[in-house]
Structure 1
Amino acid sequence: MKKTLLLLSLVAAPALAGEGKWTPQQVLELDPAWLRAQGLQVPPKKLWDPQRGTGLLAGAVNVGGCSGAFIAPSGLVITNHHCAFGVIQEHSTPQRDLITDGFLASKREDELPGKGSRVQVPRSFKDVTKDVLAAVPAGADDLARFKAIERKQKELVAECEKRPATRCQVASFDGGLNYTLVDAVELADVRLVYAPPRAVGEYGGEEDNWMWPRHTGDFAILRAYTAPDGASAPYSDKNVPYKAEFFFPLATEGVKPDDFVMVLGYPGVTWRALLAEEMAERQSRLYPRMRDVFGEAIRILEEEGDKDAAGKIAVASQLKSLHNVHKNAGGQLAGLKRGRIVEKQRESEAAVAAWAQKNGAKWAEAMKAREALLAEQAATGKVFEREFLLGSTGRLARGPALAVTVSRLAAERAKPDLERRPEYMEREMPRLKDRLEREQKNLFLPADKKLLQAFVRRAQALGPDERIAAVDKHFGKTFSEKDVAAKIDAMYAGTKVLTLAERMKMAGETVAQLEARKDPLLAFGLDLAKELTALDDVKDRRQGAAMRLRPEWRKAVLAHAGKPVAPDANGTLRVTFAKVQGYAPRDGALYTPQTTLSGLLAKHTGEEPFDVPEKVSQVAEAKRFGTWMDPRLKDVPVNFLANADTTGGNSGSPTVNGKGQLVGVNFDRVWENVANDFGYNPDVARNVNVDVRYILWTLDQVENADALLRELGVRKGKPTVQETR
């Protein structure tokens, strides 16, 4: 990345302690003396060596949309329980309910493979800004601009992925001001080693989600495997554990208040570079609609799932995801209002504009870009309702979502690979087919029909200029509960989309072959797919405009700042530096930064979501702390807070000390910090971590996972032959 724009004289300053999701390249530009003063005990070059393209940061891995970390040279990866939930659900049945009871592999042969689970290990980062921008033809309109940039990104990725077992992406920074080619090794055989019972991994449930104090053991342990020669390979009983060059040893002494920590991982998306009016649109439209639509879906899934044990397992993963998004939306609304974030952004923009005007013609283009972005935002708001509902199809009823997937796959496969949408390119086929297969575990027809009925009702209530044609064609323009329910019953009775073997056949068929099936659910999916494709083109044009305009405005913002400005999160590897700290969420309340087993037991009611498993409560009540007691607390620490700058995607991130040892696993933010996605507030910016001592106490005193503890290097002795083979 260009140092002049992204780094801007990185000087040591206390304000840097928490704010900023720094790239590996940026870390090397930070003042080493400042980093030492914060508490970093390893040389910065140990974190990332650009010559080798690796370093300690390579111990932090991407785990399918979450983060994770190698914690032993034998391929062991720690992440969150909720990040491994898909694998846990995959192997759960009413007779063997791993979701409820948890799982521990007593030997490696017992470890459970995860369909489609992958681990990506970072290898290198390369600035490709000139290559990407040079691909835009002179005089290109906004749609052509988007298509040219996207095609160049695909070409760079294709060239990068000529290396075996490689996963690449071209990441955009600051709205298209910079582009970086990210190169990673992808490991395709990932197995579940340990998951605690759900009542540990989700202790507190939705009531405690995004809250503090917390007492949640949100962790799980996986293992990555390779072929015997070390090459990445799909699951095979001949595979061997991955040999991790970089991993984070466990710091058995844990942390105490004011300790220095780093959170490493793959934060997904933040929106600090948006204009105030763009933020206001999210506040006034997007988050309220998410609360409404997803809240209804949650009620349906809970009501229907409670009627059937197998159904409850089937909807668990979708329900978990919707709960998280739904509550997050509420936190965003509360945080935007409480922090006056939109108002502060307006003030900040006004300051940049005034500064730019004083500096004359140099920033004239930046001012024009801002005005044009505002005009684009105003136009988008006029079609919000239809676009939101149509775009939500993938989150709601699984039947139509699957029908849409096979329909779009057929349409895209008819194009040359580089002209397809990225998610349907050949490189995505293994993931797509894994998802199509894995969704079978998520199907529960009574709930799915009710979700589709709710979707149809909302679509039929749209205004005349926002109609969803596929809904009007298959269900009519006016809602009648009885008629719609009957049509849905007939649609599901006559479909083969929900039959795994037939669905996998559909994944290889053409549009004509799919149409010839005369399958009612598939026909609905084919029509929805056409509208989604058209909507994608609209969004691509808007994105092309943003790629043209936002970089000019961002240049002014960065120049005006005169200090380090870390780019918005975009799913790439980042590091945030922090201290273990409590906070004061409101007048008269002061939260300490650590919780304990005693606090966990104090919350116990014997009913969800505060029902401590008996095997945990017996050990905790007997105060069998082992060697994991904190001498200051005189108890086993469960969770702790730090002021790290995190967001979604940081779930499962390793939290490490200045020596590079793991002291915890990040899994959440506090409620007051949800709107941190729009701006960092040091008063309430706190992330929530599982303390490593609670993890070790669970494995030691509760599970007696002797072999695993020896493998982790915290118990003397070596694993037996049976345990290692």
Structure 2
Amino acid sequence: MKKIFLLLTFMLSFVQMRADEGMWLMMLVNRLKGQDLQKKGLKLTAEEIYSVNGSSLKDAIVQFGGGCTAEMVSKEGLLFTNHHCGYGQIAALSTPEKDHLTNGFWAMNKSQELPAKGLSVRFLVRMDDVSNRINALLNNQMSTKERRDIIDAEYKKIQNENSENGKYTVVVRDFYNGNEFYYFVYQDFKDVRLVGTPPNSIGKFGGDTDNWEWPRHTGDFAVFRVYSDVNGNPAEYSPNNVPMKPKHHLPVSIKPFTAGDFAMIVGYPGRTNRYMTSYGIDQLVNKDYPGWVDASRNAMDVMKKYMDRDQATKLNYASQYASVANYWKNRQGTIESVNKNGTIQDKQKVEEVFQKWAQKPENKDLYGNVLADMESYYKTTSARGVERNYASQMTRNAKYISYAVSLGSAFKTMMNETDAAKKAELKKTLSERINTMYEKFNPAMEQEMLKTMVGLYKSKVDGFVASPYFQHINADLLDDVAKHSIFANRNSAMNFLNNPDMQTLERDALYKLGTGYVEDQRKLNDKFSAEDDKFSNINRLYFDGLRKSHPKVEFYPDANSTMRITFGKISTLPFRDDRNYHGVTNNFYTDLDGTVAKYKKGDEEFDMPQKLIDLNAKRDYGQYADPAGYLPVNFLTDNDITGGNSGSPVLNGNGELIGLAFDGNSEALSGDIVFEEEWQKTIAVDSRYVLWVIDKFAGAGHLINEMTIVK
């Protein structure tokens, strides 16, 4: 039977807790009674998992680049993450002459490691619960604005109290739909360098075809190193920086494991909506996500057209294309999964129970109209939801819009500055910014992208919520709006910087298009602000009522890009008739034989290096072979993860690295909305395959020597 809620939290004993569903806050580990998970295979104490003063598991896990997870694997700052997490950095460091994305890259000593511009990693120092502090200042009679102002003011106080004059970054987040609050103290390291990456034909083997599918055969990993100043403090890139020494790094295990063995994952899951109502899910899968899928597909078609023509464009837009393609398939799969699994119907059953409780005399005043108000909100804002999805893909992919707005604003600031020295500094900063923005920019492709995405927005968005500026724009203008613009390319932007003129800027068609759209969005937000405020309050009350109507149930918090730990086991999926498992008879792993069996010479998704084929033919697996004789590649667990967990370590009971999480499976793509107990799996790349590629394929054995290998 499908679960909607996990029935017990960390505050209760593990004896009653299922070990698959839920992404748990690290600091709550010390409240646990661990007998049950210890029986399942956990050997670590609460202090070894989360400690403020001592070395613990949390100190080896970092948020990578803001959207992924990575783990420290040596005392010299070496880290593992997914290839797709480092994809943008690898592409940015590539040129047609030195194509690291296609051919791979391995630094044979530290001097060869490549600085990854703009990349940072974030370590969690500590966290704490401030729910009582903030909730003591709030009540249900307050307006949403009053409530928000009080919360924001308290957030600022908490940040100031814990930042130690800027040494740390302090983030305060609400949990349980605004009913609880925690703060997180982080330390950010900004000198991160690429150490090694397999070629695309290993790191992205299977491409979009295999994405979100099992069986997988992908070496989805990359290796970076974090640097600090000589005192171990975060520092901007400098050749004088030294490898940072983490408080803890993960031993890497090459021991065999099998289905049923204990597994846990620590990382930074991005966003789940497990407590979304049936009304919200209906809007999502029948209105919002179809818009996202449609807009993404159009953007991908434009990019692919130009990427196929030119290798430089292919490298420059590889990361953007991969990201759009990933979410395109995810959103489409979510629609199919929700419909197939009956998710909306399951939510309606939960709401029936809630409504019976809410209609009791003692509950009716506060909770009686919550579900009716929720339904009304989604009806009122339905068209707005569709607009948001087309708009998000338009602004994400049509760079001319954001370039015109952001650079135009910066040009105005510079022209309005009266102090000569400040004006010169602004000009210098703008020059650097322009060079960066246009460094890997294809004007012809961006012009077609602008025309395509604005045209799609005009044709698909209801006029009631559409940008009036876009709705009434002359279609012919979109054919060449950028060609004669200040923002057309690097040269035109630099020419304007050197000869700025306010009237020229304000007459620029692309600038008027961008600023017109931004102003329309502001008005649209104002138009719906009252409804959005009302929803915020309804959503908070709904979750508050859920907890009160189930007094013996403790609900886990939705993911919100804060560090979480999830417990589970190595797990299998039923075999499917429409899949080829290439001889694997126990469906929790894949091996290198299966990888080679998928080989298609010259195919963009299934080509592979000849050296990989030769090593497999010779069975040259070294110490990384399973005792059964195969080289493991990917495996499955039943851990609960989502986007943001990419690159997260999969750990055995001793806290040793056995793999890197990198994907989920198509059968449970509704997982951000509801945990599918029977189907939801994590797909990971086996640490033995990672080490084999580094050692045997790449010949970078010096990196193996740097790690703590557990045999």
Q: TM-score, normalised by structure 1?
A: 0.87
Give, in whole Å, the separation in 2 of the partners of 1:353 and 1:407: 52
Q: Pick closer, same or farther for the CA change 1:135–1:542 going to 2, 3 Å.
A: farther
Tell me: CA distance 1:468–1:515, structure 2 relative to 1, closer, same or farther (3 Å).
Answer: farther
CA change 1:147–1:316 in 2 (3 A) is: farther
Q: Distance in 1 between matches of 2:184 and 2:519?
A: 32
Q: Partner amino acid for 2:611? A: K
Q: Return closer, same or farther for 1:138/1:682 CA change in 2, 3 Å cut-off.
A: closer
**Residue 29 of structure 2: aligned partner:** 27
1:623 and 2:619 are equivalent in the alignment: yes
Structure-2 change in CA distance of 1:204 and 1:381 (3 Å): same
Counterpart pick for 1:550 among 529, 539, 558: 539
- 1:161 Cα deviation from its structure 2 partner: 3.4
Give the structure 1 partner of residue 220 of structure 2: 218
Q: Is the 8 A contact 1:17 1:578 kept in 2?
A: yes
1:241 to partner: Cα distance: 0.9
Output the CA distance in 1 between the equivalents of 2:660 and 2:183.
28
Aligned to 1:568: 558
**Partner Cα distance (2:458, 2:411) in 1:** 28
**How far apart are the structure 2 equivalents of 1:226 and 1:662?**
24
TM-score (normalizing by structure 2): 0.89
Aligned pair in 2 of structure 1 residues 68, 373: CA closer, same or farther (>3 Å)? same
Match of 2:479 in 1: 486
Shift of 1:21: 0.4
Say which of 160, 172, 175 aligns to 1:173. 175
Per the alignment, residue 490 of structure 2 pairs with: 499
* 1:464, distance to aligned residue in structure 2 (A): 3.7
1:109-128, aligned counterparts within 5 Å? Answer: 109-128=111-130
Q: How does 1:365-514 map to 2 (within 5 A)?
A: 365-406=366-407, 439-461=437-459, 462-472=461-471, 475-476=473-474, 479=475, 483-488=476-481, 491-496=482-487, 498-499=489-490, 502=493
1:407-459 CA-to-partner distances (Å, cap 9, x unmatched) read 57799999xxxxxxxxxxxxxxxx99999765435522222111111122123
**What does 1:499-648 correspond to in 2, within 5 Å?**
499=490, 502=493, 516=505, 518-537=507-526, 541-561=530-550, 562-584=552-574, 592-606=587-601, 607-632=603-628, 634-648=629-643
Q: Which amino acid aligns with 1:486?
A: D
Secondary structure class of the residue paired with 2:645 = coil
- CA 232–593 in structure 1, closer or farther in 2 if over 3 Å, else same: same
Q: Please state how far the C-alpha of 1:549 moved relative to its aligned partner.
A: 2.5
* Structure 1 residue matching 2:669: 3-state secondary structure: helix
- Code of the residue aligned with 2:355 in structure 1: it is A
Q: Deviations over 1:652-684 (max 9, x none)?
A: 101111101100000000111211111111211
Deviation at 1:362, TM superposition (A): 4.1
Write the distance in 2 (CA, Å) between the matches of 1:42 and 1:501. 60
Which residue does the alignment assign to 1:707? Answer: 702
Residue 164 of structure 1: CA displacement?
3.9
CA contact (8 A) 1:437 1:504 kept: no
How far is the alpha carbon of 1:392 from its aligned partner?
A: 2.9
2:647 is equivalent to residue 652 of structure 1: yes
Report the CA distance shift for 1:609/1:376 in structure 2 as closer, same or farther (over 3 A).
Answer: same
After superposition, the C-alpha distances for 1:514-544 in whole angstroms (9 at most, x for unaligned) are 9846443233222222233344545665553
Which sits farther off after the overlay, 434-443 or 553-562? 434-443
Aligned residues: 681
**Runs of 5+ consecutive residues of structure 2 not aligned to the other structure:** 1-6, 416-428, 580-584
Cα distance in 1, alignment partners of residues 410 and 58 from structure 2: 36
Say which SS state the counterpart of residue 690 (structure 1) adopts. Answer: strand
| C-alpha distance in structure 1 between counterparts of 2:559 and 2:312, whole Å | 38
Aligned to 1:74, the other structure's residue is in SS state coil
Indicate if the aligned counterparts of 2:486 and 2:493 stay in contact, CA closer than 8 A: no
CA contact (8 A) 1:709 1:715 kept: no
Superposed displacement of residue 234, structure 1: 0.5
User: Does the CA-based 8 Å contact 1:115-1:434 persist in structure 2?
Assistant: no
CA contact (8 A) 1:12 1:34 kept: yes
Displacement of 1:42 = 1.1
Cα distance in 1 between the residues matched to 2:218 and 2:438? 29
Deviation at 1:372, TM superposition (A): 2.3
Aligned identity (percent) is 27
Separation of aligned partners in 1, 2:527 and 2:203:
41
Unaligned runs of 5+ in 1: 415-430, 717-725
The Cα shift of 1:471 comes to 2.2
Distance 2:528 2:175 in 1: 19
Residue 324 (structure 2) aligned to one of 319, 322, 325: 322
Distance 1:366 1:159, change over 3 A: same
Distance 2:317 2:376 in 1: 41
The 8 Å contact of residues 115 and 237 in structure 2, kept in 1 or not, is answered as: yes
- Separation of aligned partners in 1, 2:495 and 2:276: 41
Alignment RMSD: 3.1
Relative distance call for 1:88 and 1:237 in structure 2 (3 A) is same
* 8 Å Cα contact 2:505-2:511 kept in structure 1: no
Alpha carbons of 1:363 and 1:235: their partners in 2 closer, same or farther (altered >3 Å)?
Answer: farther
